[in-house]
A = this chain, B = another copy of it.
Amino acid sequence: MRGAQSVPLRLMVGREHGAPTFSMRLFEVEPGGNTLLHQHNYEHELMVLEGEAQIAGGVSGSTIRSLRPGDAAFVPANETHQIRNVSDGILRFVCIVPTHFDCGKNECDITPGS
């Protein structure tokens, strides 16, 4: 299974456009592809635009949610999650993140990819 590094991210609206609070990114995942199973201390809000996704999440990563176009999901901060393309075609989804998060250290307060 492919990792996050193979999932292209397109910044639709972000800090470079003047966004002060949150950033909208577009992801495209090839059939059979997925993001890494990972966690971080800021939240995601997702909406699937095309294809069919599963989000493996929860404290242990064992909860599965299925999403079709128009379905949205909230991934709270610190929850382990992985987005998988379970359709035969491309999976396209938007993923919104805060531009900043509180990690307790000044040097890591800007969200990556925001």
Which residue numbers of A lie inside 8 Å of B, CB to CB? 12-13, 17-24, 26, 42-43, 45, 47, 49, 70, 72-74, 76-77, 94, 96, 98
Decide if A21 touches B98 in the complex (CB within 8 Å): yes
Q: Please tell me how many copies of the chain the complex holds.
A: 2
Chain B residues with CB below 8 A from A19, complex form: 43, 45, 74
Decide if A24 touches B12 in the complex (CB within 8 Å): no
Chain B residues with CB below 8 A from A22, complex form: 21-22, 45, 96, 98
Decide if B21 touches A43 in the complex (CB within 8 Å): yes
Decide if A72 touches B24 in the complex (CB within 8 Å): yes
Q: Which 4 A/B pairs are nearest by Cβ-Cβ distance? A: A12-B72, A22-B22, A21-B98, A13-B74
